[in-house]
Structure 1
Amino acid sequence: MISVLLVDDQDLFRAGVRVIVDAQEGLHVVGAAGDGLEAVRLTEELSPDVVLMDLRMPEMDGVEATRQIFLPERVARRAAPVRVIVLTTFDLDDRAATAIRYGASGFLLKDTTPAQLADAIRTVHAGNAVLAPGDLTRLLERDLTATRPPPPQFLALTVKEREVFDAVARGLSNAETGRLVFVSESTVKTHVGAILRKLGLRDRVQIVVFAYENGLTG
């Protein structure tokens, strides 16, 4: 079962989403929070697989809550990764871009369908984004302040790891990447793991962000 934490300041919205999520095979709501402070606390207490995070809330908004959830000291204490999907009523929301930089795996509009919501939860639980790399790039462009040279860690990637990095940053699947760089799908997964470790990134979404912000997209 994929455990889900709901975070929204509207009781009716939380209740509706709970019904939708619990009705899906393999998904289960383990808790609900009405503001960012409670979201951070419950994430620590309940260790959900996926957090559905509203962006605009009292006390602490979803952007700051996302930042706090992904503080290095908190991430290091977890036995399993936590994924965050931010929820917004605005397409290409600047706050969503900031939350993605802090570690969120993408965003959904609040009028998404139940099937799309369930698919998104399963997608981010697998370590993937819930919006296409092209859409992610457009979102990041709206919030971009400056590019900077790639950090030294990037130079430590092998030639094959850089080829895999480029393919992942363009949104290719493991199978597509394997065909492109002439290795097996399992070898691609090994390379992706090495890339994440060397660059200090959490998942494939962060590879897209890293590539865009450092001018590594072609």
Structure 2
Amino acid sequence: MSSTEDNAHARHAPAPAPQEAAQQLRIVVLASGGGTLLQAILDAANSGLAPVDVVAVFTDRECEAVSRAQAFGVRTQVVPVGEYQDRAAWDVALSEAVAGASPDLVVSAGFMKILGPRFIDAFAGRTINTHPALLPAFPGAHGVRDALAYGVKITGCTVHLVDAGVDTGPILAQRALGINAGETEDQLHERIKVLERELIVSTLVGIAVGEVDLAGAATRRPG
């Protein structure tokens, strides 16, 4: 076949389906509240939009996220801090519970507890978190409130690798939005949540198809 025929054949050959190139990721989701981020992941997995298999959901309390997972037939386990002697013992228990699910990736999706050193070591380079601000600006539990208080005109959300710091891990993806005049914290947070749901799904797809390199990100210094 000539080079011209090769080019013509390449132009008309059907593109491979995304599923053929994608790695089916076994993921564990950590959650603490309403579970809307979890819901976005479950919907994307169920529809085939994201090549992921949610194998378990772990929470630190009884919450709506548990019900959302159970509605999809996903195994759930509540691991409350108060049932353990101290945070170190809880860290070990959570690490062992998650390890039992053999995940490729752990997704912290609205999980309101800081992960301990045992967990971070066990799942180094394969735990990701969503944050409602454009890191490295406004880390911590009040990213939306802090952005408003500082008076910035643009904020957004971030997906990043989890490390030993608070929201200091390497950034994987971000999405920005403008802040409306007179907008309240609740109003802004609701708009950011919409972006967070989109961003976590697109990031998971990127990881599965190799467009988001976790290993490469982990070797870069954050910031």
TM-score, length of structure 1 as denominator length: 0.44
Q: Between Structure 1 and Structure 2, which shows a larger proportion of helix residues?
A: 1
Q: Which one has the largest radius of gyration?
A: 2
TM-score, length of structure 2 as denominator length: 0.43
Q: Between Structure 1 and Structure 2, which shows a larger proportion of strand residues?
A: 2
